[in-house]
Every structure is written in structure tokens, then in C-alpha cells.
Amino acid sequence: MSQTITIDPVTRLEGHGKITIQLNDKGEVEDAHFHVTQVRGFERFSEGRPFYEMPSLMARICGICPVSHLIASAKACEAIMSVRIPHTAAQLRRMLNLAQMVQSHALSFFYLASPDLLLGMEADVKVRNILGVAAAKPELGRAGVGLRRFGQSIIELLGDKRVHPGWVVPGGVTEPLSSEKRDKILAMIPEAYANTGVALGAYKQIADTFKQEIEVFANFPSNYLSLINEDESIEFTDGALRLVDEGGKIIEDGMTAARFPEVIGEAVEPYSYTKFAYYKPLGYPDGSYRVGPLARLNIVKTMGTAKAEKELAEFKGLAAGLVTSSFHYHHARLVEILYGIEKIEEILSDPRILDKHVRATAGVNRLEGTGQAEAPRGVLHHHYKVDEDGKMTWANLVIATGQNNKAMNLGVLQAAKHYVKDGKFTEGMLNRVEAVVRTFDPCLSCSSHAAGQMPLLLELVASDGDVVDRVVRD
């Protein structure tokens, strides 16, 4: 008799999701899905609001990456205003976005992933959490707390609040950086480097013990999408998008936010409230792609900073071509943390960062605008339409987790097929299936932002298991 294994909720994620694994009569895994089960409503309830409210409204989507939403939203608004923001404002936003990336990656690595990585996938579930890690590896606990506080403190210094900061507005930022704040941030940097060194050292020591997981944790060829600068260095805030295929060949380059909706579509599957982004010319699902740290490090040719450059070379040495195992998202996050600290230091070393001109002003000059940035989890795209008075008439957000959705589902299936045999499984096996999802560090509150018509599958199942009625809304 066929059987379904349900892991609900999937733990140590941002948000609420579940995994189902379908077994056939022989106890073999036939299919598996990662379901995002929560519904939110940001696109719909933004309608009717003045467009300039959008950054602060959109930042409420997420408590982990509000800065990315602030920035993508402000850029969409600036497209409506047809303004170019001052250089210093762009650099301040870049620093804020990097600070967020550091704290978010620290949370993902130390709080969410490290219980599996440092204590083991089979460790007693009662100790497989941040408290267990702290007890077993206090130096890593300190490093994790230190890096998260580093990022959050910068966000608080710049935006007044650690979570849901303001400051970023259409046209730039509300106030310039003071020399006192600059010096406070610079003073935190040596400790941040030291903490990153502890994390990288610890990770490299244990990575080789996860050979099997590396082999089956969403390890397959795919397309990749990320922002990149003209000099082919990594970029989180500006630049343009590059899409490469599974061999690293460039499919799309210089993709602006305005072009994004022309080439990126969103498919709907009945089992998830999160959509599935794909590259339209290749169709769905062939046009699916991965975003985030793995994609960024696969796509860029250089980090553009000395310390991270060495780490990038080591990272790229993990495979002959592109690095395809999602397990390596963890490693990529640590490399990006190092880059973030270096880049923040570099930005603050430029005297122009204290310039007082940090905001451009304008009204409605276009009725449509798009903006994009790299969230810690990957590309984030905002697309708005307004009326002549600047009131929002329509919004669409394409979130990193939606862009990784197909790969996450394929990864869950790949791991389930490997670890669940003859209908038998242990807690440690199922934890590995969950851990595949954790490698992507999905943010489910971000990804289920849509309101109104939601994909829905309703099944009426008879006592013998037969589906007697089925309603699909997409």
C-alpha cells in the first residue's frame, strides 16, 4: 500500500513549510514536495497606497531581509520618478544591504545550519539546536552572535532600528552619515574579521565529512541568476543581472530591472503558495534557475576585495566547472560574509561617504517602475504601476525563494530517494531531507507575499484512498 511521509513543520527555516514524500507500493520514493503553507498579502494591499510609501510598507514583508525590500522598492519608485540618486546615497544603501547580508548569513549558518553541520545530522534532536551548538562549540557560538550583532548594529546605526529600519526612501536616504557613526562601524570591523575566520576555519574542517550529503543535496546542473558588475565582480545593490546555463555559458547579460518581467515568468504548482520563477525563452520547468550565494559565486569572476578573492578561488576549486551541490551554499555564505565586511570597510574609507547630498526629489514622471537588488537569498525584483496621482494600481514581487523553488523541490526529491529506502527511514534521514531545504535558506514569509487569487488544490478523498473529486484553481 502506498504511503505518504509528512515532515510538518520543517524546522530551522524562515517561515512555515512542510515536506511530503510519496512512497509507492514497494516502499520506494515516487515523488516529494516542499510546500509553502502560509499566505500573506502584500501585493494586493499595497494597491491604492501612495507609491512613496512602498519602501517602508514592503520592508514589513520580512524581519530578516527588510533592507533588500527597502532597496528594491525604492529603486522601483525611482524608476517612476525618473531620478538618479546621488553617489553617496548609493554607497550608503550598498553598505546597509551588505550589513543585512552579513547578519542574515550569520543567522543562517550559525543558528539554522550549524546544528546539523557541527553536531551531526544524526545528533539527538534535543541538542540539535543553537543551544546545543553553543554548549559544544562555544567559540562558534560567540562568532555567530558577534557577526549577527555586527550586521544588526550597522543597520541600527544607519536606519535607527535593527529590524524594519527606515532611512532608505525613494530618491536616496533620509540623512547623511555622521563621522561618529562611521567611526563606530569601523571600530567593529576587526572583531568581525576574526569571527569570520573562526567560522571559515571550522567549516573547512568539517566539510569533508559530508561527502554523501554534498553528493545528494540538490546536486544537479541548473541555470543560475545573479547581479554582477561590469567588471564581473560581485554586486548586491546595483549592477545588472546575468543568467548562465548549466555549463556557465551566458544566456542573458546586462539584464536591467525593466527587462526582468519580459524574460522571467512565474509558474504555479498546486502544492505551494510560493510561485516558481523561470526564464521564459526556455519555458517552465526547463527555464528554472537557482539564485543566492551559490549562484552569485558561480557567476562572478572576481569578488573585488582581497580576502574574499582568495576564498572565491578556493570555492571555485570545489568543482571542475560550476559548483552544483546546494550543500555548498553554506560555504558560499561564509565567503560572502567576508566580502561584506571588506566592502563595508572600503566604503567607509572613502571620505565622500560623509557627503551631505544624499537624496534626489521628483514626482511621478512614469506610470510604471521596476527595481532589483540581491537579497541574502538571491535576486529580489519589485514591479509597480501607478496612476497619474502616484497611487499604486498594481504590484508584483518576484522573491528569491520563488526563484529557488523548483531547485528546492528537486533537491528534496533527490535526497528523499537517496535516504528513504524500502519504506524505512530514521529521524536522521528525514532531517537530511529537511537540511536540503535549509541549504537554500528560504524565506517563506517573503515568498508567499501574494494576495487575492492563490493557487489551490482541493481533493475529496474516499476512505479507500480514491480521489473522487478535485478542484484546481491557478
Contacting positions for another protein (CB under 8 A): 12, 107, 111-112, 124-127, 129-132, 134-135, 138, 141-142, 144-146, 148-149, 152-153, 156-157, 163, 184
Q: Which residue's CB is nearer to another protein, number 105 or number 382?
A: 105
Residue 202 φ/ψ region, left for φ over 0, alpha for ψ in the -120 to 50 degree band, beta for the rest: alpha
161's grid cell = 532600528
Angstrom CA distances, 388 to 68, 118, 154, 326, 384, stand at: 27, 56, 37, 45, 13
Q: What is the closest distance, in whole angstroms, from the C-beta atom of residue 157 to another protein in the complex?
A: 7
Q: Which residue's CB is nearer to another protein, number 165 or number 239?
A: 165
**285 CB contacts (<8 Å, ≥6 apart)?**
267, 276, 278, 406
Angstrom CA distances, 216 to 375, 432, 453, stand at: 26, 10, 35
- For residues 401 and 447, the answer to whether their CB atoms sit within 8 Å is yes
Q: Which residue's CB is nearer to another protein, number 134 or number 207?
A: 134
Q: Which residue's CB is nearer to another protein, number 152 or number 403?
A: 152
Q: State how far the Cα of 330 lies from the Cα of 62, in Å rounded to an integer.
A: 21
Assign 421 to helix, strand or coil.
strand
Q: What is the closest distance, in whole angstroms, from the C-beta atom of residue 325 to another protein in the complex?
A: 24
Q: What is the closest distance, in whole angstroms, from the C-beta atom of residue 270 to another protein in the complex?
A: 29
Q: State how far the Cα of 395 lies from the Cα of 416, in Å rounded to an integer.
A: 37
Q: State how far the Cα of 394 lies from the Cα of 457, in Å rounded to an integer.
A: 26
Q: What is the closest distance, in whole angstroms, from the C-beta atom of residue 407 to another protein in the complex?
A: 23
Q: Which residue's CB is nearer to another protein, number 137 or number 328?
A: 137
Q: Which residue's CB is nearer to another protein, number 126 or number 211?
A: 126
Geometric angle at alpha carbon 428, from 422 and 430, rounded to 5°: 60
* Run of H or E residues at 20: strand 17-23
Q: What is the closest distance, in whole angstroms, from the C-beta atom of residue 464 to another protein in the complex?
A: 37
Q: Which residue's CB is nearer to another protein, number 130 or number 282?
A: 130
43 assigned to a ligand binding site = yes
62 assigned to a ligand binding site = yes
449 assigned to a ligand binding site = yes
446 assigned to a ligand binding site = yes
Q: Which residue's CB is nearer to another protein, number 135 or number 472?
A: 135
443 assigned to a ligand binding site = yes
In this structure, the number of other CB atoms found within 10 A of the CB of residue 461 comes to 11
Q: State how far the Cα of 182 lies from the Cα of 188, in Å rounded to an integer.
A: 10
427 assigned to a ligand binding site = no
Q: What is the closest distance, in whole angstroms, from the C-beta atom of residue 163 to another protein in the complex?
A: 8
Question: What's the Rg (C-alpha) of the chain?
Answer: 22
Q: What is the closest distance, in whole angstroms, from the C-beta atom of residue 340 to another protein in the complex?
A: 17
Q: What is the closest distance, in whole angstroms, from the C-beta atom of residue 364 to another protein in the complex?
A: 32
Burial class (CB in 10 A: 0-12, 13-18, 19+), 355: middle
Q: What are phi and psi of 9, to 5 degrees?
A: -85, 160
Q: Which residues carry a binding-site annotation for Mg(2+)? A: 43, 62, 397, 449
Q: Which residues carry a binding-site annotation for Fe cation? A: 65, 446
Q: Which residues carry a binding-site annotation for Ni(2+)? A: 65, 443
